[in-house]
Structure 1
């Protein structure tokens, strides 16, 4: 099922959470607690015909954990029913998404993460004119993945990439 391109303004302007489907909830809890420095707020399970219907599935049983960040919640979801397959995608694939964490000092965070055993997709870069940007030069980024291969990023934003946190 797909949505048509909207011709009417809906007005969704706040995000509540990002859901990340994981293979091992306990291992993902350990990873995201260490990554964010935030303890899990809640661990629970949900399922049944109503939850299945709202997701367009035949049956659903999900164990999940909630991580509350300053400006967004992360829901870590381990589907016990239906049995999950493994998504495979590159950052450039249609429909691929990633979660980006904002940091004040990218190099310091990168160094701490590397020392903790996180493998990055490549060395961090700082956006320059040569990258084809009209603005945002000075922004620093680096990409990595969680234990299940979910694409993640850290960013030290400048210019239009910087935002005011409400």
Structure 2
């Protein structure tokens, strides 16, 4: 068996255009590709009858960040907290967490001010427009 390597991290969103705007304009990620997928094979693979998806792939360095908007859209979920089993977040390294946070638009919600962990890493968590958790860290 070939050793797996990371290809992408996927985030399901309700409004693809709004999510792309956030990740491109607020966090500065480049859009690599936008496309749509549908058909029986896709529906079967994702386990959603008659599903189609609108996708955007963003440059996340060693792995792409995949934003996908499904039709039909599933039920919304409560705001995730990091201590819930199965919780997910997207981790993005930056040169200076404090500078990035200072430059965020006022409508971007952070869970706290930037913190330095016991390991010496400076981190902050924020929410994208869909409520997905994004960790910014300088390493």
TM-score, length basis structure 2: 0.89
Pick aligned residue for 2:24 from 19, 33, 38: 33
1:103-145 residue CA offsets vs partner (Å, 9 max, x unmatched): 12111112112xx2222111111123xxxxxxx2x21111110
* Structure exhibiting the larger radius of gyration computed from Cα positions: 1
Gaps of 5+ in 2: none
Q: CA deviation at 1:10?
A: 7.5
Poorly superposed stretches of 4+, deviation over 4 Å: none
Q: CA deviation at 1:27?
A: 0.8
Tell me if 1:150 matches 2:132.
yes
The answer for the alignment partner of 2:115 in structure 1 is 125
Tell me if 1:11 matches 2:3.
yes
The answer for the alignment partner of 1:50 in structure 2 is 41
The answer for the alignment partner of 2:123 in structure 1 is 141
Q: CA deviation at 1:63?
A: 1.1
Cα distance in 2 for residues equivalent to 1:10 and 1:72: 18
| Larger RCO (CA within 8 A; separation ≥ 6) | 2
SS at match of 1:90: coil
TM-score, length basis structure 1: 0.76
Which runs of structure 2 are paired with 1:100-119 in the superposition (5 Å)?
Answer: 100-113=91-104, 116-117=105-106, 118-119=108-109
Gaps of 5+ in 1: 1-8, 129-135, 158-166
CA-based RMSD of the aligned residues comes to 1.7
Count of paired positions? 137
Q: CA deviation at 1:64?
A: 1.3
Q: CA deviation at 1:36?
A: 3.4
SS at match of 1:41: strand
The answer for the alignment partner of 2:70 in structure 1 is 79
Q: 1:141 to 1:119 in 2, by over 3 A?
A: same
Q: CA deviation at 1:39?
A: 3.3
